[in-house]
Amino acid sequence: MEITYLKAINEALHEEMRRDENVFVMGEDVAELGGAFKVTEGLLDAFGPERVIDTPIAEALIVGAGVGAAMLGMRPVLEMQFGDFISCAFDQIVNTAATLRYRHGGLASCPIVIRAPSGAGVHGALFHSQNPEAWFTRVPGLKVVAPATPYDAKGMLKAAIRDDNPVVYFEHKRLYRSVKEDVPTGDFTVPLGVAQVRRSGDDLSIVTYGGTLHQALEAANIAEREDGISVEVLDLRTLLPLDREAILAAARKTGKVLVVHEDRLTGGIGGEIAAIIGEHAFEYLDAPVRRLAMLDTHNAFSPPLEEFILPNTAKIVAAVRDLWAY
């Protein structure tokens, strides 16, 4: 059945809460309101206030309480109402949740999922538009995912809930209602840590994830139609652990790689991807690895300014043409 990205996440929550009574949801306005974006709509009626819990506006409390519940055998799904405010829970995530298994010699686990609606292009300005994934992709003990399709949004959330490690699950707000896809009604999961080739090509590879996947696919179609450039598009899906073999295979296949993400250029995961390729596939390259990302500035409220600082389809097409001509 064809459903939206938002509905896919909602279905995953319903199914996992029915499957396992230890799964519960906690966050700001997740119960009575059904979430700021209606992602948790219907959960309160289906599972009651003991499993769908509204919290104070206190992200550190949400994650801290979730860690405690997870240590006692529960599987909390914790919502950051906007991904920007995950910074308020940074200490609980990186110093408590991520280190818990190591600190206890593998005898304890922390099966929490932290849902973080992120991304720009919705005119959310400074505090409701950020892509903070790179803050977490260098932390041992965490898994970080960023699905871009309804199928992956559902399957990866179900896999994250069943995982015994803390998973930070970034869902791009712009995708909530803008993309639809046929998603199976039966139980399925999408494995974490495995990238997927979304479009096969021979001349140039785009490596991307999350909110820029669909822009990259559109750009690849334009480049082939107008310029005859055959572009492969690799969707990372998981950012920690990275599917290094898939990245290197893309680089070795085409010899030219463009990394695209909506996070800022400096310190974004694109730099790590470029380093991996430079270290392990340099002899296959016909051009330097190129990155296209958000400018190193704050998110703008003004639509023209926001458009100026963000990557988009036209900018990807221009980057593809420039890299192809190298």
Instruction: List, for residues 93-105, the tens digit of each pLDDT value.
Output: 999 999 999 999 9
Question: What is the reported pLDDT for 147?
Answer: 98
pLDDT of residue 210: 97
**Statement: residue 14 has pLDDT above 90:** yes
Strand 113-118, strand 75-79: pairing: parallel
| Segment 262-273 mean pLDDT | 98
**Whole-number pLDDT of residue 186:** 87
Confidence check: pLDDT of 290 > 90:
yes
CB atoms within 10 A of CB 20: 13
CA distance 44 to 240: 32
Band of pLDDT at residue 185, cut at 50, 70 and 90 = confident
The stretch 232-248 carries a mean pLDDT of 98
Question: What is the per-residue pLDDT for 282?
Answer: 98
pLDDT cut 90: percent of the chain above it: 98
pLDDT of residue 1: 83
| Average pLDDT of span 63-87 | 97
Q: 130 falls in which pLDDT band (50, 70, 90)? A: very high
305 Cβ contact list (under 8 Å, min separation 6): none
* Phi, psi for 280 (deg, rounded to 5): -115, -5
pLDDT, tens digit, for every residue of 187-212? 999 999 999 999 999 999 999 999 99
128 assigned to active site: yes
CA angle, 131 then 209 then 172, to 5°? 45
3-class DSSP assignment, residue 323: helix
What is the per-residue pLDDT for 209? 98
Helix, strand, or coil (residue 114): strand
Domains of the chain: 2-182 (3.40.50.970), 196-324 (3.40.50.920)
Kindly name the residue from 14, 104, 123, 128 that is annotated as catalytic.
Answer: 128
Q: Of the candidates 275, 271, 276, which has an alpha carbon nearest to the alpha carbon of residue 293?
A: 271
Higher pLDDT, 122 or 294: 294
Would you call the peptide bond into 241 cis, given omega within 30 degrees of 0 as the criterion? yes
Mean pLDDT rounded to a whole number for the chain? 97
Round to whole Å and give the CA distance between 315 and 265: 14
pLDDT of residue 10: 98
Model confidence, pTM: 0.96
Confidence of residue 81 (pLDDT cuts 50, 70, 90): very high
**Residues with Cβ < 8 Å from 113, sequence gap 6 or more?**
75, 76, 77, 78, 157, 160, 161, 163, 166, 167, 169
Q: Please write the tens of the pLDDT for every residue from 135-169.
A: 999 999 999 999 999 999 999 999 999 999 999 99
